[in-house]
Amino acid sequence: MLRFVDTATESIDPYVDLVPAEQLGHVRELARELRGARILQLNATSYGGGVAELLNSLVPLEKGLGLDVQWGVMVAEPSFFAFTKRLHNGLQGAPQFEVTKDEVEAYMRHNTHVAEEIRGKYDIVIVHDPQPAPVQLLARDTTAKWIWRVHIDLSAYNRDAWAFLEERIEGYDAFVFTMPEFVPKPLDQSRVHCFAPAIDPLSPKNIALPADLRDRIVRWTGVQLDRPILTQVSRFDPWKDPLGVIRVYRELREKHKGLQLALLGSMALDDPEGWSIYDKITQVVEGDPEIHVASNFTGIGNLEVNAFQSASDVVIQKSIREGFGLIVSETLWKGTPIVAGRTGGIPMQLSDGEGGFLVSREEDWVPRIDALLSDGAEAQRIGGLGRERVRQHFLITRLLEDELGLMAGVRSAPASTATPS
């Protein structure tokens, strides 16, 4: 079954002063080309997770640009999602992937229902991630153009999981990945496109806050603004090494008296590991009034994170492993310098001296952050360069440009052939 998300329509006009003018011009031009095309964005959830967040920004703007776009969400029983979660893990490289007859049957049955609901109704269908992936095969609708948009890293796939999926996605006109590194080798590379994700500068996470409001939000958590602030925003997850952040901070404090650490985390729905790390952090931090741990259980939402990213002197992103790591762009957009692990999509967003520093060796964290804390003017200059890089490459208008450009491309391509990459 399919459920449609009743999104707002947002004008692109308020973005004029924020984004590169040529991007905006090109987006408007592409939107004119696509006018009249019936477009469907199809995914598996309307809230929670990066995909829903992206669509939540994209779809209202596409509507505001005059496109005839709908956002459909798959409705299915929990066992369907339990299976697609395992498929997702397998595609990301989980060592085991097995599938029962019943699971295949349910996966294809749910997708058949969706395929029947959309057959003949759209000119362009963008299908997100593996849950609704077989819809193209099942719809047997050659009038429409089909784009499979993959938000996860498929480079180190489990062979069984890939074999299961491969035969069900072969017919797409185009495949879109986040980075070239995420593309599975066997895929027809001539149909592969790569769009980096992007941030919405007017979403609650990124919108500019009045300085007095921002300062009140930060002070209210007990963090003081007359002394330097080092912040990490991340899930409480070993891959973000929060305990390592505390070690780095304590070493820095020997030189930078009065330095405060803010650890802002979010806890996921079902993540027992997150809880045990959270407990460890609170134990380690107990009795240290300069370390402030806050989370979605103490009133921290998107706007509070925004305020901290903006008010911090330096942000640390001590990622050991990362997908794209869009939080780096969120941080840089506030002009705050960031010292981050050289992993996943982080080096794409940040280079040494432009936005902050990349770190590969454990012993480099302290000197890199120290350098930024010791020279405020230089830190500000480096942060400013980071903001400009985000403005050019990682704002939602650049993503709109990519997505609309691809749609215009596949639409004008002859039916049933591969699209040039």
Q: Which residues are near a copy of itself by CB under 8 A?
A: 1, 3-8, 10, 46-48, 56, 60, 75, 202-205, 207, 209-210, 213, 216-217, 219-220, 222, 224, 266, 268-269, 286-287, 289-290, 293-294, 296-304
* Pair of tokens at residue 134: 């077989």
SS3 (DSSP) at 126: strand
SS3 (DSSP) at 138: helix
SS3 (DSSP) at 392: helix
**Minimum distance between the CB of residue 151 and a copy of itself, rounded to whole angstroms?**
18
CB half-sphere exposure, 188, CA atoms < 13 A: 17
**Minimum distance between the CB of residue 400 and a copy of itself, rounded to whole angstroms?**
17
Closer to a copy of itself by CB, 77 or 363: give it: 77
Specify the residue for token string 């009065």.
258
CB half-sphere exposure, 178, CA atoms < 13 A: 25
**Minimum distance between the CB of residue 383 and a copy of itself, rounded to whole angstroms?**
23
**Minimum distance between the CB of residue 188 and a copy of itself, rounded to whole angstroms?**
36
Query: For residue 266, which of 303, 218, 298 has the smallest C-alpha distance?
Result: 298
Closer to a copy of itself by CB, 224 or 380: give it: 224
C-alpha–C-alpha distance, residues 291 and 249, integer Å: 9
CB 92 within 8 A of CB 156: yes
Closer to a copy of itself by CB, 121 or 219: give it: 219
Closer to a copy of itself by CB, 283 or 416: give it: 283
Phi, psi of 6 (to 5 degrees): -85, 80
Closer to a copy of itself by CB, 81 or 162: give it: 81
**Minimum distance between the CB of residue 52 and a copy of itself, rounded to whole angstroms?**
9
**Minimum distance between the CB of residue 380 and a copy of itself, rounded to whole angstroms?**
24
**Minimum distance between the CB of residue 325 and a copy of itself, rounded to whole angstroms?**
18
Closer to a copy of itself by CB, 26 or 113: give it: 113
CB 228 within 8 A of CB 373: yes
Specify the residue for token string 């509507």.
63
Alpha helices by DSSP H, listed for 222-301, are 242-255, 272-285
Measured from the Cβ of residue 374, the count of other Cβ atoms closer than 10 Å reads 12
Closer to a copy of itself by CB, 45 or 89: give it: 45
SS3 (DSSP) at 315: strand
**Minimum distance between the CB of residue 391 and a copy of itself, rounded to whole angstroms?**
19
SS3 (DSSP) at 227: coil
Q: What is the largest CA-CA distance in the chain?
A: 68
Closer to a copy of itself by CB, 59 or 147: give it: 59
Strand ranges in 257-378 using DSSP code E only, listed in sequence order: 260-266, 291-295, 314-317, 338-341, 351-352, 355-359
Closer to a copy of itself by CB, 62 or 173: give it: 62
**Minimum distance between the CB of residue 14 and a copy of itself, rounded to whole angstroms?**
9
C-alpha–C-alpha distance, residues 300 and 149, integer Å: 31
